[in-house]
Every structure is written in structure tokens, then in C-alpha cells.
Structure 1
Amino acid sequence: MIRDARVLQSQFIPDEVEHRNAEVNALSNTLKPIMDGQTGETSLLLGPSGAGKTCIANYTVERLRENVLDIDTRYVNCWQEYTRFQVLYRLLDGIGRTVDIHRRSTPKDELLDRLRGYDESQFVVILDEVDQLEDKSVLYDLYRMRNVSMILITNREAELFSQLDGRLTSRLQTCVRILFEKYHLDELVSILESRARWGLTEDGIGNEQLAIIADAAAGDARVAIGILRNAARRADQSGTERITTEIVREAVPDGRREVRQKTVEQLNPHQRALYEILQDEGELDPGELYDAYAERVDEPKTKRTVRNYLAKMDHYRLVVADGKNRARTYRSR
């Protein structure tokens, strides 16, 4: 049943992407100066989760690497690496400059100096979920480096710019914005057809079953691929040669749950505390939630930062925000 399991992973980068030609072309144009040895434009990829932002960023950078000799690239997931030190370390690690760096004792400025001193090639940096950065000053650090080109990925522009100081805002306001919409049903079916063709045996699944998966995913490619992967796993374990409608319907909740769990695992400690409080206590208003959060963590963030955290978790369907202003409440989904 399963011919190539890699294809059934959401992070797999295909050789050809579908239904995102305009976005690929727009991003390619921002990076085009690199082919002449110059720095590319800063780009901001915006849109809902599962709309292909990360895939397109990595795909476009890989195509660039095929045409440019002197280039280094690095992908950073800011869910997991959200401090200034972690980001700088990750970038230096990509160019082999971390041998004698100690995570606990090496000053952040030393990391920055090493990165500034690297001028052997152009350096393309993808910062995914960039609004998750605790210290946004690292964006200013990278913006000022003459050989660093940044691709920033976030869901909503407001969530990023509301956290920036005036210095950063004025610089990033001029970046190229590339908007991603949710996939339509037929687009998701087409994407799933390609994944099934590469990853499963011939006739392993039919269009009717793919349409059910696409409909259940509601425009989110990560969820769609997760359901397909779970359906293939179920069919493989049962020894069935074809994924039936019954298997697909059984795989839908597992596929959704798997994507949700991966998101939960990426939460930073403060978001995790908020999430666990809502799971333990049920529905809370903002004041009650913040008081419980402030008691649970050692160094609580500001109320504004907590609101941004909750907005992010609402976007990823981990919590539910009901009502507005003083009538607003939060609960776990």
C-alpha cells in the first residue's frame, strides 16, 4: 500500500507544486537579485495555516539553490526557536560556526558578531511563525546585514506588527507581501492525488475518497495530508490493497488529532501554561485567565503579549474565544 512514506508527511517538499504559481513567481522575484550577487528583498508570506506558505518558501529557495553557487540557506521554526540566542545559534549552525559556542555562557553579541563577519556567500533565512519570536530585535539584526535575505512567514500581519517597535516597523513596512488563501476543494483533491500517486501503490485510493478527505480538511493541506497518511496507515495495517470510504471516515478524527497534537507540542512554555489552565479550569474571562497564568509561571508576560498568544492559539483551533471586549471568554477546544 505505502510505496514512499516520505510523501505522506506534511513537511515533504515536492519537485513541483500545484495551485501556487503566482505565489512562487512573486517570491522568486524578491530573491532574484541574489543571482547577481546582491541581497534579495525582504518578503512576508501571509495566510491561514495549511495554505502552503512553508512549502512554497522552502520550494522556492531550493530552486534558487539550483541556480546559484555561492548561497547558504536556513529554515528556522520560531515556534521552537523563539529567543534571539536560539535564532542566531541556528543560523550559525547552518554555516558551521557553532563549534566553540556554549549555550549557557556565550554572549548573544558574540553570535551576532560571528554572523556579521560571514561574507562568503549570500544567506537566505526563512523565519516561520515569525510572530512567535520573543525578542523581535533579531529581525533588526538580520535586516542590517548586507548579505542576508529574509523570508518571514506568519498568519496575520497585525499579529506581527503589533509587537514591533517603530524602528522595525518602518523598515518592514516596505517588505513584499505575498498573500495565501485557503485551498479550494478541487485544489486540495489535486494535491492529494499527487501525494497518492507518489506515495501509494497504483489505485490505492480513488477520487471519491480523496474528495471526502479534502472536504473534511476544510482548505487546510496539513490536515488533508494528515488524514491521507492515517488512512494509508490503517489500510496497510489491515492488509487492504485499497483505501475505502469506511477507512477514510475512520481516519478523519485521527488525522485532525495528529495535526492538533503537533501544534500543542510546539507551544512555548507560556502558551502551554495558558492552554493547560483552560483545560483544567474550563471557560475563563481574560482577567481570571491572566491571574491564573501569573500564578503558574515565574516571569509572566504582559497582558498584551498574552492576548497575542491566545489569538495565535485561537487561529490554530486550540482555544475558543467567545464574545468581545469585557464579555470575552476563553475555553479549550
Structure 2
Amino acid sequence: MIRDARVLQPQFIPDEVEHRNPEVNRLSDTLKPIMDGQPGETSLLVGPSGAGKTCIAKYTVERLRENVLDINTRYVNCWQDYTRFQVLYRILDCIDCTVDVHRRSTPKDELLDRLREYDGPQFVVVLDEVDQLEDKSVLYDLYRMQRISMILIANREQELFSQLDDRLTSRLQTCVRISFDKYPLDELVSILQARARWGLSEGAIGKQELALIADAAAGDARIAISVLRNAARLADQDGRAEITADVVHEAVPEGRDEVRQKTVEQLNPHQRALYDILRDEGELDPGELYDRYAERVDDPKTKRTVRNYLSKMDHYRLVVADGKNRARTYRAR
């Protein structure tokens, strides 16, 4: 049944994207100056998880690489590389400037100096989940470099800008904003049809079953693809020739749990501590949660930073925030 398992992986970038042409065209316009050897405009892709932001950023950069002979690109997932040092290291590693860098002893300023000395071709840096950065001053550093163009990806613009200082806010206010909405059911079905056509044997799944998957995913393409992948695996293991509705229903919880678990694994240590406390102790108000958190970690973050962490985790459906202001409580989902 499974002809090409790569197509069913979340990181797969198709040769053609579905239902995001306006967003692709707008992002492409921000990068057009690079074709003439000039830096592109800074762009900010905002929208809910599973709306295609990462896919469109990677797809558009790949199309640019097909048309520009000399160009460097680097994708950085700020869930995993959330410190200033990690971001600078990841970018420098793309141009082979990290051979003698020691993660514990090399000063961050030395990495920045090396990047400032870069005199190669235009460089596109995609910073995904940019609001996860602990030290957002690295955005100011990159913004000032003439050969670097940034594509920033975040869920909510307001939450991102609330974490920036005035200097950085004034710079990024002029960036090109590209908004993404959740996929409606028919568009998500179309995306799944394409994945099934590329990755599964002909007739392996019908449109009605794809609609069941799309409905369960509620506009989130990550969940939809995860459910399709699990359904294909279950059917394949049972020796079935097609994915039936009962297989889809069995695959839905596994698909959702798979996405949730991958998100949990990407949490930074402070977010993971908050998640574990809520999972172990149940519902807590902000004060109780912060006290437990401060006892558990070394060098706890400020209450404002913890609120931002919890907001991010709420967006990714890892925690539930009930009530407002003093009546607010948090619990693990």
C-alpha cells in the first residue's frame, strides 16, 4: 500500500503546494532582490500551527535556489535552537565557519564577529517559531547584516512583538507580513489527496475517508498528515488493500498523540518543567504554578516570560488556560 513513505512525513516539501499561491507569490516578491545580488526584505509569516507556514517558507526558498546560482540558505527551528549562541552557530555551520568553535568556551561575540566578516553570496535565514528565542537581540544582529535576509515564522504577531524591545520593534515594524489561516475542510482534503496520490497505491483511500481525517484534524495539516500516515501503517500491518473508515477512526487518536508528543519533545527545559508540573499536580493558578516551577529549575525565568511560555503551550494544545486575570488556572491537556 505504501509506495513512498517520505511523502507521509511532516517534513516532506512537495514539488507543488496546494492552496497557498497568494502566500507563495508574496513571499517570493520579498526575495526577488536576491536575484540581482541584493538582500531581500524581512518577512514575517504568522498564523496557527499546521497552516503551512514552514512548508511555504521552505518551498519558496527552494524555488529561489533553482533560479540563483550563488546563494546560501539556512533553516533554524527555534524550538530546538533557542539561544543566541545556537542560532549564530547554526548559521555559521552552513558556511563551514564552526570547525574550531567550542560550544562551552567560544564567546557569542566571536560568533557574531565571524558572521559580520561574511562576504559571500546573499544568505537567506528562516527562523521558525521565532518567539521561542530566549535572547531576541540576535534578530537585531541579523537585521543589520547586509547580506542576510530573514524569514521569520510565528503564531501570533502581537505576542511576538510584546517580547521585543523598542529598538527591535521599530526595525521589524516595516517587515512584510504574510498571514495564514487554518485550512478549510475542502482544502485539507485536497492536500491529503495529493499526499495519497504520491505516497500510496492507487485506490488505497477514498475521498470520504480523507474527509473524515480532515474533519478530525480541524484545519491542522500536521495532524491530518499524521493521521493519514498512521492509518496507512495500520492498514498495511493488517494486510488490507484500502484504508476504511474504521481504520481512520482507529488512527485519529494515534495521529493526534504523535503530533502532541513531538511538540512536547521540542519544549525548552523551562517549558518542559512547567508541563511536567501541570501533568503531575493537576490544575494550578499562576502563582502556585510559578512557585512550583521556581523550586524545580535553576535560574527561573521571570513571571512575564513564564506567561509567554504558557501562552505558547496553550496555542499548541499542550495546556489548557481557563479563566482570566486572577481567576486564571492552568492544567495539562
Residue in structure 2 matched with residue 25 of structure 1 by the alignment: 25
- In structure 1, the partner of 2:200 is 200
Task: Tell me how many residue pairs correspond in the alignment.
Answer: 333
- Residue aligning to 1:92: 92
Distance 1:171 1:82 in 2: 21
TM-score by length of 2: 0.99
The aligned runs of 1:242-257 (5 Å cut-off) are: 242-257=242-257
2:54 equivalent in structure 1: 54
* Aligned counterpart, 1:136: 136
State the distance in 1 between where 2:244 and 2:260 align.
24
What is the alpha-carbon distance in structure 2 between the residues aligned to residue 119 and residue 191 of structure 1?
A: 41
What's the secondary structure of 2:73's corresponding residue? strand
Could you tell which deviates more after superposition, 109-118 or 254-263? 109-118
TM-score normalised by L of structure 1:
0.99
CA distance in 2, matches of 1:40, 1:82: 24
Question: Which residue in the other structure is 2:157 paired with?
Answer: 157
Aligned to 1:285: 285
CA distance in 2, matches of 1:161, 1:296: 29
Tell me how far apart the structure 1 counterparts of residues 240 and 138 of structure 2 sit (CA, whole Å).
Answer: 51
Partner residue in 2 for 1:168: 168
Match of 1:66 in 2: 66
CA distance in 2, matches of 1:171, 1:120: 24
Measure, in 1, the Cα distance between the counterparts of 2:13 and 2:221.
13
Structure 2 unaligned segments of length 5 or more: list them.
none
1:233 aligns with 2:233: yes
1:232-264 per-residue CA deviation (whole Å, 9 max, x = no partner) reads 000111111111111011000000000000000
Cα deviation, 1:4-61, whole Å, max 9, x if unaligned, reads 0000011100000010000000100000100010000000000000000000000000
The corresponding residue for 2:8 is 8
| Over 3 Å off, 4+ runs | none
- Corresponding residue for residue 321 of structure 1: 321
C-alpha separation in 2, matches of 1:163 and 1:65: 33
Distance in 1 (CA, whole Å) between partners of 2:71 and 2:241 is: 45
Q: Equivalents in 2 of 1:270, 1:71: separation in Å? A: 36
* CA shift for structure 1 position 117: 1.1
Amino acid at match of 1:184: P
Give, in angstroms, the shift of residue 97 of structure 1.
1.1
Q: Does 1:221 align with 2:221?
A: yes
Distance in 1 (CA, whole Å) between partners of 2:38 and 2:307 is 39
CA distance in 1, matches of 2:238, 2:119: 55
- The amino acid that maps onto 2:121 is S
Counterpart CA distance in 2 for 1:264 and 1:275 is 8
Structure-2 separation of matches of 1:85 and 1:300: 20
Supply the AA of the counterpart residue of 1:199.
G
**Alpha-carbon distance between aligned partners in 2 of 1:10 and 1:277, rounded to the nearest angstrom:** 29
1:126 corresponds to: 126
Residue identity matched to 1:94: C
Determine if the alignment matches structure 1 residue 83 to structure 2 residue 83.
yes
